[in-house]
Amino acid sequence: MSGIFLLGVGVLVALSGVLFALQGFGFVGGSPMTDTTTWSVAGPIIAVAGVGMMYMGWRISRRNQSSP
């Protein structure tokens, strides 16, 4: 169960990171985050952290399924 939860949280974190990066690069407007260097740097880092969480959640869920 914890692996599936971590996988789901990782998806949300990765999507948030992508959105933050797009706002930082100026592709998504209407926010104080638009065209801000901070979010241009932090967004991809957050997205990579989300992908790492997804990977760990996937590994945990696979390990739990294979054990009797």
- Is 41 or 65 the better-scoring residue by pLDDT? 41
In this prediction the pTM is 0.88
Q: Residue ranges per domain, the chain?
A: 2-66
Q: What pLDDT shows up at residue 68?
A: 62
How far is 34 from 21, CA to CA, in rounded Å? 9
Tokens of 21: 């990066």
| Whether the predicted pLDDT of 66 surpasses 80 | no
DSSP 30-53: SSTTTT-HHHHHHHHHHHHHHHHH
Length of the chain: 68
Whether residue 67 is predicted with pLDDT greater than 70 in this model: the reply is no
